[in-house]
Amino acid sequence: MNRDADFRTKVARIAVNALQWGRDRVPAGLRTLIGALLMVGGVFGFLPFLGFWMFPLGLAFVALDFPPTRRRLDRWLKRQRMAAGD
């Protein structure tokens, strides 16, 4: 595997773990709040600690609270777990 593919695999793995944690352990209203805070932080991605990666992760957290988008995320999570061999 080249470095780019390896990096993408690691990033996808981190995103999958974060979304599974959010889906399984965080109550619905709090998920939306966490997602909103991540999106606000993503807007300021040019600052040192914050990053543009926060915006899509925040959108995914908010999407966990809406049934149509949650089904799509669940399918994506399942595909990622199968690809990783979990």
For 27-36, what is each residue's pLDDT tens digit? 988 999 999 9
> What is the pTM for the complete model shown?
0.77
List the domain boundaries for the chain: 3-84
Find out whether 62 and 32 touch, Cβ atoms under 8 Å: yes
For 9-52, what is each residue's pLDDT tens digit? 888 888 888 988 998 999 988 999 999 999 999 888 888 778 88
